Structure 1
Amino acid sequence: MPKSKTNIKEPEKNRRERLCEKESSFHGRVHTITSRDRRLKTVPEPLSEKIVSFSLDARPPPKLTKLLMNVTIQGSVGAVQLVMSSNNTVNDLIIATARQYTKEGRRPFLKSTDASLFDLHYSQFSLERLEREEKLVALGSRNFFLFATKTAAKGCEKETPCCREAVENVSENVMPWIKIMHLF
């Protein structure tokens, strides 16, 4: 047998009557202000000009003392996170990154932790390396990419003989093709 609609509304009516004062304001009923709800006025105007008018010019802005740097090493999975002082240089960052990378035992292992064998770039797509004397604060970024120089990767002792050999090999191979092109 179906229930009448009057029976359904009755529990809802009882429920609304049981709402406390805080809940009644949420449901759209206006709460009347009683004497216990009034705020005691210990300070007549809490946001008066005298209290708020502290001088912002008197204090200089806080200087950055430490910087969180993220350096990804070529071939590694994730970035090495370092906290560096703001007056450190790029060379200091390279040295600290190589030390931290080997300390954590990450792979692939570095052949050497010598800072001269690495160049720091803004990203893996950036061709320009950062100057080693430049301050970290002046760089404008906190994420960098550390490349091993070609001398470190190939194992050459000096960079110039390796480059000279590569240029000579290319120049020897190009000449025969030029001679063939003149024949056509």
Structure 2
Amino acid sequence: MLLYKQKKKQVPKGNRLLISVTVIGSAGPIRFVVNEEELVAAVIDTALKSYAREGRLPVLRSNLNDFLLYCPTAGSDALSPWETIGSQGARNFMLFKKQITEKVENDAKSAESITRKSPGNWKAWFNKSLNLKISSH
């Protein structure tokens, strides 16, 4: 009979938390376990990877710099990517896509900032289709 040495699992320091991240426009929250010492940027990255792996809609980009993580109980400011996720004392978060602005030159006189709309804005299409009046005979 052979005896095998059992390797001890390295337990990360700190507590582990089950968090829930709601992506705006998605059907429901994404839940996963994180170490409370993880940075907010790492949590955003994990949420985006889980979102893509599950094949959720709408399709999001994978650049974590394009997103902001909010804690509904902490106020209206987004969480800093460099703070730890456990510092908020919360387990529910919301992931928002940053609004992207472009500089457009107008006749080489001045540049003005405009907000670029996403190409597949299904909410606007849906609301517009509800407003169409269907007349009956």
TM-score by length of 2: 0.62
Q: Which has the higher helix share?
A: 1
Aligned pair 1:85/2:35, yes or no? yes
Rg (Cα) greater in structure? 1
Equivalent position amino acid for 2:98 in 1: T
2:52 aligns to what?
102
Aligned residues: 96
Aligned pair 1:165/2:113, yes or no? yes
Q: Deviations over 1:66-120 (max 9, x none)?
A: 111100001011100010112101101000000000001111111x111000000
**CA distance in 2: counterparts of 1:127 and 1:164, whole angstroms:** 27
Aligned pair 1:127/2:76, yes or no? yes
1:15 aligns to what?
none
Equivalent position amino acid for 1:103 in 2: R
Q: Deviations over 1:42-63 (max 9, x none)?
A: xxxxxxxxxxxxxxxxxxxxx8
**CA distance in 2: counterparts of 1:118 and 1:71, whole angstroms:** 12
Is contact 2:103–2:113 with CA below 8 Å preserved after alignment?
yes
**CA distance in 1: counterparts of 2:76 and 2:85, whole angstroms:** 19
**CA distance in 1: counterparts of 2:85 and 2:97, whole angstroms:** 20
2:132 aligns to what?
none
Equivalent position amino acid for 2:59 in 1: F
Q: Deviations over 1:126-170 (max 9, x none)?
A: 53111111111111111000000011xxxxxxx462794249xxx
**CA distance in 2: counterparts of 1:105 and 1:143, whole angstroms:** 21
Identify if the C-alpha distance between structure 1 residues 109 and 166 changes in structure 2 by more than 3 Å, giving closer, same or farther: closer
Give the share of equivalent positions with the same residue, in percent: 28
Query: What 5-or-longer segments of structure 1 have no aligned partner?
Result: 1-62, 152-158, 168-184
Query: What 5-or-longer segments of structure 2 have no aligned partner?
Result: 1-12, 105-110, 116-137
2:121 aligns to what?
none
Cα RMSD after superposing both structures = 2.5
**CA distance in 1: counterparts of 2:39 and 2:95, whole angstroms:** 15
Please, which of 95, 114, 128 is the counterpart of residue 63 of structure 2?
A: 114
Higher relative contact order (CA 8 A, sep 6+): 2
Is contact 2:40–2:69 with CA below 8 Å preserved after alignment?
yes
**CA distance in 2: counterparts of 1:105 and 1:128, whole angstroms:** 29
Equivalent position amino acid for 2:58 in 1: P
**CA distance in 2: counterparts of 1:99 and 1:65, whole angstroms:** 22
Q: Which has the higher strand share?
A: 2
